[in-house]
Amino acid sequence: MQAVEQPEQQMAVDISSMENGAPQQPEVDSVSIEELERELPHVDDGQIDLSDVLSRVVQAIYAELTEMAETLPSMSDAVRKRTLADWVVKTKKQVVKLYAVAKWSRDAGTIQKCMNITSFIGAHHRQLEFSADFLQRLKDDLGRVRLRNHDLLTSLDVLTTGSYLRLPTCIKKRVTQPIPLTDEEVAKTLKDMENAILYRLRMSEIIPVEMSRYRIEDGRVFFTVPKLFEVSICLTGPLPTDGWFFVHVEFPINLKDETTGLQEFPRVPTGWAKQFISQEADNRLGYYLLAETETGRPKLPDGFVDTPLIRLYNFLARTPEQIVLARVQQRVKLGNTKPSDEVQPLRLSVTWEPSQGVLAVNLPPSELTLPRDELTVDADNLDFESMLRKVIEKHSRALLVALRAKLQQDSRGEFSEPGVVVAEKDALHLHLCTDEVVTMNVDMRSGRLNFKDINDLGVAGRASRFYVVTLRVFNNPEALVDHLGALRTRTILSIAEEKAHYLGYQSHRTRNLGKQVLEDIAFLDFERIRASRQGPDFGNTSNVSVQGLSLYDFKDWEANDTGASSGFDLTIQTMKELYSYCCARVAYMNVERQFKSRTIPYTHVNPASGTTQPTEIVRIQSSLARCVPSLCVQATDILSGAPAAEAAMPNIRVIPLNWWSDENAQVITCVKLKYVQQPLGKRAGSSTIIRPSKRIIYDTTEAVVSFLSENVNTCVDEFLEEWARVSKMVVIAREVAKMSKEKAWSDIQLLSFDLQTVEFAYAPGYAVSIACEDQLSLDGTKFILRFTRDDPADSFNPHDDAEPFLTSILQQHGQGRLAPSLERLVMMLRDTLPIAVELEKIRKGCQEQGYHVDTFAKASGWYRLLYPTLKHALDFRLLKNQRVAILDGSHSLFKPSHVRVDSGSVPQPSTSRTASSSSSSLGAASSSSGSASNAAAATNELFLQPIPQFSQFAKEAVSEAAQAGTPNLVDITVGVICETSAVGVLAQSIHKKVVEKLKR
């Protein structure tokens, strides 16, 4: 197959390369490769300049170096070395990547050319498809087009004569080329034209004196005006009525910058400039000749002679001598007639008329003048650019001087301090803050004020900021000071955000803060932040006062801020302090919000005055904490409705803590107690500062209780809860101490007190500890009682079984009723102690004998001894005046019993219970007696049974005790009433008799 196709291809080549029997050479394209490349479309999709990449990488490296220069000194040696190593590794990777990109960019030209060719081929392909589609549509449309009739006459002429005989003569003249003239004919024609020109110039034509230097050659006349121009014109014919036409012009001027000036302004005009000059010159030369052929043109008046050369020259100026010579020539050639045109005294001159109000500044005329020599036009050294530059520079300097005065004389004084605005030759340097300087100059092309950073490596991300300021000043130059003030503010914010980013802080440009909130923030000492490097040492807080803290002085601070003149040096240390201040203010606002929600008035006080804080708290505070005012509330306001409010002194101080550290902020509330009660016990220790819990610190010397809250948002609730607990403990400790003195209860002794727990002995060897919790719960105060016994052989306190009932005595106290409730509790403990002790002896004795009984409390003054059968029990009830009732457990003191004494019969059920039982079945009417018997038997199992012969046992026990000398014994048939001191004798006697009876 290949062998067959190869001759055909070779034949096609041979045929195409032959014409008229001779081979032809392929034509060489005269278009260069560069011109063809310029025809290609430029494609730059997805590409970026290498210079931009290089600039961004360099600026990023510089910014990181600047950051490390500020942060590394505060790091340890190990961290500093590690940070440097990490930075070197990361930067090396970036530089290697940049080096690889630079290597790849060597082929950028080739890749760009390929992309351009690909785009060109794609466009060419689309054009071919469009052409094919268009031809197809044309083919479809031509089928519907009708052809006109054939031109038979023209066809016959062409077929018979071989040419078209009906072609108009004018077309033949235009199409047919005339016979060219020979060289001799051309020379003779030019010579005749030169003679006609010479004759006309000598005899009739009025020549301006300035154009008196001329020469005639090549069939035309050349007029030369020194330092202005050289022009050549020619006549349209030898007749006196034939006019002149323009041929060429050349301006013999010398530009100062010939390399670029002559390219833009050549001596011999070309292109559109030459065309414009030719048309205008021909129009001026034939001004009155065209009036005969064109309507609307003025005609030459009678008595006037046409002077086309004067019209040609009328753009030049003349001297007085030239005016005299022109009059002589006119008198000689024209006689009494007048020329149609006069030479106009024009001259190239430059006048500077500065505009007022530029950039909203009015300049005095004396500042906008230049020497006359600076505005003189010299044809041998023509330099309008230099002249214009001098004018612009003069105007720009005057504007900068006026703008400097405007900034320095502004009523707000933001840029009025010396050294803030520094003027140079063609720019103003504005010191915004610290090392941040912005340069302001006037653009010579547009007249706008341009702003840029003085440091080229520090402008990353700031170009848009300066562009916005430039645009705003251009649109509203009257507000220049406002825009510069806003630029200064944004610069300070950017520096603050940058340093906050270095330190890992969060920052916000805008927050929804009202005016009142800003005034609340103003108590902070902004002089420390503005300040001045010559200000007092901030660490020295010994003489800090409320006035020195500029309390609520936000407006004064805003008015007195002189900006860059004060430095506003936001160093890393200052940022840390500022961040600490902000954290302090947030903590204070959270506390104040809780006061406001509770309508509790508060005031700010100097932290250095008033009550001394505990040493432990001062030790953990920041040095800046002494410069932030504390909050002070009245005890009557914050403790309104709280228990034991009378125990606190009038002023209560609230101090947020830990806002200077990375931990959560805390709040400490200091309360000075009216009643000084020294802590006792092991937890109190020997120090004057005790910390009974994580949230309470007590200074025993000053009687100051400090309540520590871990959560700022709930500090008030936590304080009230802790205060309710502590105040109760203080009241309990105080009342216990008073009982031993006022009531002569020598056996009551305060054993331990640490604000959280009170422990005291209510009888020899028996003690109780009281604590409380859940102060703010819906159920109210919850007291916790723990009973102990000082006996190495047996540490069990029998009151421990009655702890829930004894606790309820304290929980039932109302407002200001804790002391009576405590007294009632102590009396209950002292009165029931013999009962509890005796029952515990009985239980242990029975347990040793193998006869198991159970003792437990039914109420705070009610104890029960339950026998093993679970059907019989003894009740011990505390009565008034330290009396005890020993009863059969089946007997109730508050309602009639369902059982009969001294009888084993079953009690009769009530009417309702009987009705309920009888109505449980519709068929029970026939056997009512049997159902009642069954119900009575079931009910008997639910109640305690009377102890057999209990009345007899009670009488015998009373008789025995009376014979032993026990006074005040009363037999009440169902039991015995005696004093608490006689409980042991009667209980043992009755218990023995009951046990003997039940064992039978």
Rounded CA gap, 187 and 339, in Å?
34
Share of the chain above pLDDT 90, in %: 11
774-795 confidence digits (pLDDT tens): 555 545 677 889 999 988 888 8
Beta sheet of 854-859, edge-to-edge order: 854-859, 862-866, 873-879, 883-888, 975-979, 970-971
Sign of torsion over alpha carbons 322, 326, 327, 328:
positive
Q: How confident is the model at residue 507 (pLDDT cuts 50, 70, 90)?
A: confident
Q: What type of residue sits at position 469?
A: V
Name the pLDDT band for 258 (thresholds 50, 70, 90).
Answer: low
Nearest alpha-carbon partner for 345 in 224, 208, 192: 208
Across the chain, mean pLDDT equals: 77
Residue type, 107: D
- pLDDT at position 191 is 93
Other Cβ atoms less than 10 A from the Cβ of 465: the count is: 17
Per residue in 595-648, pLDDT (tens digit) is 988 889 988 887 655 545 555 555 556 667 667 778 899 988 888 877 677 778
Residue ranges per structural domain of the chain:
50-130, 186-290+304-339, 765-891+944-999
Query: What is the pLDDT averaged over residues 713-726?
Result: 85
> Mean pLDDT over residues 895-911, rounded?
39
What pLDDT was estimated at residue 216? 94
* Per-residue pLDDT band at 127 (split at 50, 70, 90): very high
Question: What DSSP state is assigned to residue 383?
Answer: -
Question: Which amino acid belongs to residue 962?
Answer: A
CA–chain centroid gap for 818, Å, is 54
**Cα separation of 832 and 862, whole Å?**
9
Specify the higher pLDDT residue, 265 or 851.
Answer: 851
The beta-carbon contacts of 401-408 under 8 Å, at least 24 apart in sequence, are 401/367, 402/361, 402/362, 402/363, 403/359, 403/361, 403/428, 403/440, 403/449, 403/480, 404/428, 406/361, 406/480, 406/481, 407/480, 407/481, 407/484
The residues that bridge with 631 in the sheet, in sequence order, are 604, 654
**Whether 678 contacts 758, CB under 8 Å:** no
Q: What is the pLDDT of residue 4?
A: 37
* CB-based contact 306:288 (threshold 8 Å): yes
In this model, does residue 901 exceed pLDDT 70? Answer: no
Under DSSP, the state recorded for 611 is S
Among 311-320, 474-483, 729-738, the least confident range = 311-320
pLDDT, tens digit, 9 for 90 and up, residues 766-776? 999 988 875 55
Q: Among 206, 194, 272, 266, which Cα is nearest to 233's?
A: 194
Name the maximum alpha-carbon separation found in the chain.
Answer: 187
Whether the per-residue pLDDT at 723 is higher than 60: the answer is yes
CA distance 647 to 755: 13
Do 618 and 630 contact (CB within 8 A), yes or no?
Answer: no
Is the pLDDT assigned to residue 44 strictly greater than 60? yes
- β-strand partners of 431: 437
Written as one string, the DSSP assignment of 645-657 is: GGGEEEEEEEEEE
Residues 694/755, Cβ–Cβ less than 8 Å: no
Mean pLDDT (whole number) for 321-340? 64
**Mean per-residue pLDDT, 795-801:** 88
**Strand 214-217 relative to strand 220-225: parallel, antiparallel, unpaired?**
antiparallel
Task: Residue 614: name the closest of 558, 645, 585, 657 by CA.
Answer: 657
Q: What DSSP element (H or E) covers 144? A: none
CA angle at 826 for the pair 825 and 830, rounded to the nearest 5°: 120
Closest CA to 599 of 645, 563, 634: 634
Q: pLDDT tens digits, residue range 855-880?
A: 989 988 899 999 988 888 999 999 98
Residue 808: what residue type?
S
DSSP state of 479: G
Q: Which two tokens stand for residue 480?
A: 């220049």
Residue 313 has pLDDT above 60, yes or no: yes
Greater pLDDT, 558 or 963: 963
E strands, 424-565, in order? 428-433, 436-442, 449-453
pLDDT at residue 533 in the model = 33
Statement: residue 17 has pLDDT above 50? no
| Strands 304-305, 338-339: pairing kind | parallel
Predicted pLDDT of residue 96: 93
**pLDDT attached to residue 774:** 59
User: Is the pLDDT assigned to residue 186 strictly greater than 50?
Assistant: yes
The pLDDT value recorded for residue 347 is: 62
**Band of the pLDDT at 684, cuts 50, 70, 90?**
low
SS3 729: helix
Please report how the helices 983-999 and 818-849 are oriented relative to each other, as an axis angle in degrees rounded to 10: 40
Q: Please name the residues in contact with 251: beta carbons below 8 A apart, sequence gap of 6 or more.
A: 228, 229, 230, 267, 268, 269
The model's pTM: 0.48
pLDDT tens per residue, range 755-768: 788 888 998 889 99
- What tokens does 982 get? 């006689």
- With cut-offs at 50, 70 and 90, classify the pLDDT of residue 149: confident
User: Cα separations (Å) of 789 from 510, 779, 792, 826?
Assistant: 66, 31, 9, 16
CA distance 520 to 518: 5
Quickly state the pLDDT bin for 809 (edges 50, 70, 90): confident
Most confident segment among 266-270, 343-347, 371-375, 575-579: 266-270
The answer for 410, left when phi > 0, alpha when psi is -120 to 50, beta otherwise, is beta
- Give the pLDDT band (50/70/90) at residue 686: low
- Residue 559 pLDDT exceeds 80: no
C-alpha angle with apex 301: 299 to 304, nearest 5 degrees?
120
Percent of the chain exceeding pLDDT 70 equals 76
**pLDDT beyond 50 at 904:** no
Q: How many residues are present in the chain?
A: 1000
User: Quick check: 897 pLDDT over 60?
Assistant: no
Give the span between the Cα atoms of 493 and 498, in whole angstroms.
8
Contact status, residue 855 vs residue 863, Cβ threshold 8 Å:
yes
Confidence of residue 738 (pLDDT cuts 50, 70, 90): confident
Closest CA to 475 of 441, 452, 449: 449
Whether 890 shows a pLDDT value over 70: the answer reads yes
pLDDT higher than 80, residue 915: no
